[in-house]
C-alpha cells in the first residue's frame, strides 16, 4: 500500500545545498503555490470588489426553497462549471510542471469532481447535515466504487490524495487566526493548549507501549485526531508521519463515528445535569473532534456554551501546524531512524520535512499579522469564507481519492486486534476527564475569576 505522503528518495540527501528545482517539481511546494494563489485571488476580489471568487456547493435541500434532491443544484450550474474549470486548470498546471500524466488527469478530473459533488449533495440534506458531513459521504462513495466494480485505470490519474490534501491544508492555515487566542485569553489557552499535548503524549505511549500497535503512524494519526481537531488534524499528522492511506481512513472513520455520538449526547447530558453553560461549552470545545460539530453541540446547550465551545476549538486548532511540525521532526529523527543509523542532521530533516506545513504556518501568520489588522475582522472573515469553500472542496476531492484507493480486504490487516478502536476509546476517555478537570479549575471561580464575555 502506498503512503499518504510518499518519501521521495531524491529528497534524502546529505548536502545542505538547496535545490531550487524542488520549488516547481515537488508536490509539497505546488500545494503552497496553489493555496496562496487562491488566497490572493480571493483577497484581491474582495478588496477591489471587481469579482467574487466562490467555491459553491449544493444548496441545503429537503425543505423550504429546495425541497427535492434535484433542486439542490438550482441556479448553480454555471458556477459549478466555472469551479470545475478553475480548479482543473490550476491543478493541471502543477501536474504539467511536475511532469505527471496531464492528459489522463484532464480526462479523469471531471469525474472525480462529479463524485465530490455527490458527496456534498448527500451531506446537505437538512437533517443529515447535522450528523454526517461531506467527509463521510466522500469516503463512502469512493469505498463503494473501489470495493464493488473497482476503480477504473483511466480514473487513477486524478486520484491524487496528497495533492488535494496538502493544498487544502495550506488554505486551512489562513483560517487559524491569532485573534481567536486573545478572545478567551489564558482560559482558552489553558484548556486547549495544556490538555492537548498531554493527551497526545499519553495516547502515543499507550498505543506503542501498552497496545504495542505495529503501525506507529496510525497511532499518531489517531492521537492527533483525538487531541486536536478530528479530520483536519488527522490529515496533517498523516502527512507529517508519512502514514498509509489506510491509517488515515481508519482514523477518520473512528473520528466521524464518535464525533456524531458526542455531538448528540454531550449537550443533552450536560443540560440534564445542570452544568454551567460556560463550563459545558469549554468541555465540548476541547473534546469533540470536529469544529462544525463543536458549534452545533455548543449551540444545542445555549448561545453562551456555543460561543465558548467555538473559541476553545479554534484556539486548539492553532496547534495543528505546530504539532504537525513536531511530528515530522520526531518521526524523522526517532521513529524512522533504525538502530545503528547515523544521527539525522538538519539537512535530512529539511529534505524529509513536508514543506506544505510551512505554507500552513505562513498562511496563518500572514492573515493574523497582516491581513486582519489591515482590513479588519469583518473583511478578513469574508475572505476566509471564500478560501474555506475551496479548502472544503480540496478536502472532499481528497476523501473521494482515499476511498477510490482503499480496499477492505487490504485494510483488514490494519485492524491490529482492535488496537485502533481501543486507542481511540481510552484516549478520548482520558481526554474527557482531563479537559473537564482543567476547564473546572479555570472556569469554576475557585482559583480564577470567571471571565465575562460580551453579550452575556
Question: Domain for residue 350, yes or no?
Answer: yes
302: left (phi over 0), alpha (psi -120 to 50) or beta: left
Question: Domain for residue 9, yes or no?
Answer: no
| Model pLDDT for residues 183-194, shown as the tens digit of each residue | 666 777 888 888
Average pLDDT, the chain: 82
Residue 425's Cβ-count burial label (10 Å; 0-12, 13-18, 19+) is: middle
Segment among 89-103, 206-220, 297-311 with least mean pLDDT = 297-311
| Domains held by the chain: number | 1
pTM of the model: 0.71
Backbone angles phi, psi at 63, to 5 degrees: -165, 170
SS (H, E, C) the chain: CCECCCCCHHHCCCCCCCCCCHHHHCHHHHHHHHHHHHHHHHHHHHHHCCCCCCCCCCCCECECCECCCHHHHCCCHHHHHHHHHHHHHHHHHHHHHCCCCHHHHHHHHHHHHHHHHHHHHHHCECCHHHCCCHHHHHHHHHHHHHCCCCCCHHHHHHCCHHHHHHHHHHHHHHHCCCHHHHHHHHHHHHHHHHHHHHHHHHHHHHHHHHCCCCCHHHHHHHHHHHHHHHHHHHHHHHHHHCCEHHHHHHHHHHHHHHHHHHHHHHHHHHHHCCCCHHHHHHHHHHHCCCHHHHHHHHHHHCHHHHHHHHHHHHHHHCHHHHHHHHHHHHHHHHHCCCCCCCCCCHHHHHHHCCCHHHHHHHHHHHHHHHHHHHHCHHHHHHHHHHHHHHHHHHHHHHHHHHHHHCCHHHHHHHCHHHHHHHHHHHHHHHHHHHHHHHHHHHHCCCCCCCCCCCCC
| Model pLDDT for residues 369-396, shown as the tens digit of each residue | 899 899 988 888 889 889 989 988 998 8
Contact status, residue 260 vs residue 25, Cβ threshold 8 Å:
no
| Model pLDDT for residues 150-174, shown as the tens digit of each residue | 899 999 999 998 889 889 878 888 8
- Span 293-299, average pLDDT: 76
Question: Domain for residue 3, yes or no?
Answer: no
Question: Domain for residue 275, yes or no?
Answer: yes
Question: Domain for residue 449, yes or no?
Answer: no
Question: Domain for residue 11, yes or no?
Answer: no
Question: Domain for residue 450, yes or no?
Answer: no
Backbone angles phi, psi at 2, to 5 degrees: -80, 155
Say whether pLDDT at 92 is over 80.
Answer: yes
Confidence of residue 6 (pLDDT cuts 50, 70, 90): very low
Question: Domain for residue 6, yes or no?
Answer: no
User: Which residue range(s) make up the domain with 210?
Assistant: 20-443
Q: Looking at the DSSP assignment, which residues form a beta bridge with residue 66?
A: 63
* Rounded distance between C-alpha atoms, residue 246 and residue 257, angstroms: 17
Cell of 255: 473520528
Segment among 27-36, 127-136, 145-154, 178-187 with least mean pLDDT = 178-187
Amino acid at each position: 500500500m502506498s503512503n499518504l505522503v510518499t518519501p521521495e528518495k531524491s529528497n534524502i540527501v546529505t548536502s545542505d545545498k538547496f535545490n531550487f528545482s524542488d520549488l516547481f517539481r515537488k508536490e509539497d511546494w505546488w500545494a503552497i503555490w496553489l493555496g496562496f494563489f487562491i488566497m490572493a485571488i480571493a483577497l484581491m476580489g474582495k478588496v477591489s470588489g471587481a469579482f467574487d471568487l466562490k467555491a459553491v456547493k449544493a444548496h441545503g435541500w429537503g425543505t423550504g426553497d429546495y425541497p427535492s434532491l434535484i433542486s439542490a443544484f438550482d441556479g448553480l450550474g454555471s458556477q459549478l462549471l466555472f469551479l470545475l474549470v478553475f480548479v482543473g486548470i490550476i491543478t493541471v498546471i502543477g501536474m504539467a510542471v511536475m511532469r505527471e500524466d496531464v492528459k489522463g488527469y484532464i480526462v479523469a478530473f471531471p469525474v472525480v469532481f462529479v463524485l465530490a459533488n455527490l458527496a456534498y449533495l448527500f451531506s446537505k440534506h437538512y437533517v443529515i447535515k447535522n450528523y454526517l458531513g461531506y467527509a463521510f459521504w466522500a469516503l463512502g462513495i469512493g469505498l463503494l466504487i473501489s470495493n464493488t466494480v473497482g476503480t477504473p485505470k483511466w480514473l487513477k490519474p486524478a486520484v491524487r490524495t496528497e495533492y488535494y490534501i496538502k493544498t487544502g491544508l495550506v488554505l486551512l492555515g489562513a483560517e487559524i487566526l491569532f485573534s481567536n487566542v486573545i478572545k478567551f485569553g489564558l482560559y482558552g489557552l489553558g484548556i486547549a493548549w495544556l490538555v492537548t499535548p498531554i493527551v497526545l503524549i499519553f495516547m502515543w505511549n499507550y498505543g506503542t507501549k501498552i497496545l504495542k500497535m505495529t503501525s506507529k503512524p496510525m497511532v499518531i494519526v489517531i492521537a492527533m485526531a483525538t487531541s486536536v481537531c478530528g479530520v483536519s488534524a488527522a490529515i496533517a499528522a498523516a502527512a507529517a508521519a508519512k502514514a498509509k492511506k489506510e491509517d488515515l481512513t481508519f482514523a477518520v472513520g473512528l473520528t466521524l463515528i464518535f464525533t456524531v455520538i458526542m455531538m448528540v449526547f454531550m449537550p443533552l447530558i450536560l443540560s440534564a445535569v445542570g452544568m454551567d453553560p460556560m463550563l459545558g461549552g469549554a468541555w465540548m470545545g476541547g473534546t469533540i473532534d470536529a469544529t462544525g460539530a463543536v458549534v452545533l453541540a455548543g449551540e444545542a446547550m445555549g448561545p453562551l456554551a456555543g460561543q465558548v465551545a467555538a473559541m476553545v476549538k479554534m484556539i486548539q486548532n492553532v496547534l495543528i501546524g505546530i504539532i504537525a511540525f513536531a511530528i515530522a521532526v520526531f518521526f524523522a529523527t526517532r521513529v524512522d531512524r533504525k538502530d545503528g543509523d547515523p544521527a539525522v542532521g538538519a539537512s535530512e530533516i529539511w529534505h524529509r520535512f513536508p514543506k506544505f506545513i510551512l505554507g500552513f504556518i505562513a498562511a496563518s501568520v500572514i492573515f493574523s499579522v497582516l491581513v486582519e489588522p489591515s482590513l479588519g475582522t469583518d473583511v478578513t472573515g469574508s475572505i476566509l469564507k471564500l478560501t474555506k469553500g475551496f479548502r472544503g472542496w480540496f478536502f472532499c476531492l481528497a476523501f473521494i481519492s482515499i476511498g477510490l484507493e482503499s480496499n477492505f480486504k487490504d485494510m483488514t490487516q490494519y485492524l491490529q486486534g482492535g488496537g485502533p478502536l481501543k486507542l481511540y476509546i481510552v484516549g478520548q476517555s482520558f481526554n474527557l476527564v482531563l479537559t473537564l478537570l482543567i476547564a473546572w479549575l479555570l472556569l469554576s471561580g475557585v482559583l480564577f475569576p470567571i471571565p465575562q464575555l460580551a453579550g452575556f
